[in-house]
């Protein structure tokens, strides 16, 4: 499993990713209750409140908890792309999609000649250690952009 194109398909990697992400989704959608405080409420309370303000074309200027760069508004506004879901469910689903993108990028990069799947394994094992917090924060969306940029830069250095 050196990660070359000639090697077999890494079913263990994909299976581990699928199982761990299914569990994360079951926790954020509250099919199962994760022990400890409910981290998903921030999405429906704080992020959704910011969403309502951002939709009007302004930033939450009077909210001391908004301490993010302007581009963070894109992640907060993104659940509006799925108007058939409530805000929190759309947010969790988009965070999951960002996770899929990171996994796919790392998997693709690791299968190239001379590369390994170690980065993909770190992602697959590391993300679930964060618990449902990973899908209840917009950090995974930003991470997808960062991973894409790093892999593009590594592939096409100046």
Q: What is the mean pLDDT of residues 139-154?
A: 93
Residue 17's pLDDT band, with cuts at 50, 70 and 90, is very high
State the pLDDT at residue 158.
Answer: 64
Residue 155's pLDDT band, with cuts at 50, 70 and 90, is confident
Would the pLDDT of 122 be above 80? yes
What does DSSP assign to residue 45? I
Half-sphere exposure of 132 (CA within 13 A, CB side): 24
CA distance 143 to 140: 5
CA distances from residue 98 to 3, 66, 93, 124, 145 in whole angstroms, order as listed: 23, 22, 9, 13, 9
Q: What is the mean pLDDT of residues 132-151?
A: 95
pTM above 0.85, yes or no: yes
Q: What is the largest CA-CA distance in the chain?
A: 57
Would the pLDDT of 3 be above 70? no
State the pLDDT at residue 1.
Answer: 46
- For the chain, what is the mean pLDDT? 92
Would the pLDDT of 5 be above 50? no
Ramachandran region of residue 97, left (φ > 0), alpha (ψ -120 to 50) or beta? Answer: alpha
Asked if 96 and 22 count as a contact pair (C-beta separation under 8 A), the reply is no
């Amino acid at each position: 499993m050196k990660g070359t194109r000639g090697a077999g398909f890494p079913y263990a990697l994909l299976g581990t990713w699928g199982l761990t992400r299914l569990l994360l989704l079951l926790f954020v959608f509250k099919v199962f209750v994760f022990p400890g405080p409910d981290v998903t409420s921030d999405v429906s309370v704080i992020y959704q409140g910011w969403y309502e303000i951002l939709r009007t074309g302004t930033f939450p200027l009077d909210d001391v908890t908004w301490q993010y760069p302007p581009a963070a508004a894109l992640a907060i506004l993104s659940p509006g792309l799925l108007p058939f879901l409530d805000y929190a469910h759309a947010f969790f689903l988009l965070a999951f999609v960002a996770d899929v993108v990171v996994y796919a990028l790392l998997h693709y990069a690791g299968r190239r000649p001379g590369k390994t799947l170690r980065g993909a394994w770190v992602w697959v094992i590391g993300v679930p250690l964060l618990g449902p917090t990973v899908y209840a924060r917009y950090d995974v969306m930003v991470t997808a952009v960062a991973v894409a940029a790093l892999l593009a830069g590594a592939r096409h250095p100046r």
